[in-house]
Amino acid sequence: MTVTVRDYIRTIVDFPHEGIMFRDVTTLFADARGFRMAIDQLLHPYAGVRIDKVVGLEARGFILGGALAHQLSTGFVPVRKKGKLPGTVISESYLLEYGEAVMEIHDDALKTGERVLIVDDLLATGGTAEAGITLCRRLGAEVIGCAFVIDLPDLGGRQRLEAMNMPVHALCAFEGD
């Protein structure tokens, strides 16, 4: 039997709320073989593609993004929740299931024309990724795609990003939420 990235991801029932099936990537990150497999597979579609920066979405996107940037010998840029970055930032709000959240990026983190790859562990509704794409575009960067370990297709994030003409790469999918 072939081992896949999905095999390294555990599911925690009723976290953080009853009825939620939490897909926990910390078990993937903790396993050297699994983590290497994930990084290699996240990079595969971009072999030979110019990527100037990797943009990681808070928080697990930082872990993946740092490793991808290292492999690509390029810089890493964090997109963080409001109030977490020092210095001058630009902000983008997005809707949550109950309420609104705000993501921020340093106003000098990307240059006009830079080609960036956005990365995170999980694609659910796509709100965080959409905010990240918007922030990068506002700074003049070209977002060449979004890469995720997990897609939750029932929550519609892939369709939301593809409606923005954004290529989406995910290593595995879990039905339901």
Q: Which residues, 6 or more positions from 74, have their beta carbon under 8 angstroms from its beta carbon?
A: 51, 52, 53, 54
3-state secondary structure of 75: strand
Q: Is 175 one of the annotated active-site residues of the chain?
A: no
Can 130 be counted among the known catalytic residues? no
The active-site residue, picked from 23, 60, 80, 158, is: 60
Q: In angstroms, rounded to a whole number, what is the distance separating the alpha carbons of residues 9 and 156?
A: 21
Active-site position among 23, 80, 97, 104: 97
Q: Which residues contact 121 (CB under 8 A, 6 or more apart)?
A: 25, 60, 61, 63, 64, 148, 149, 150
CA-closest candidate to residue 9, choices 32, 33, 25:
25
Question: Which amino acids are annotated catalytic?
Answer: 60, 97
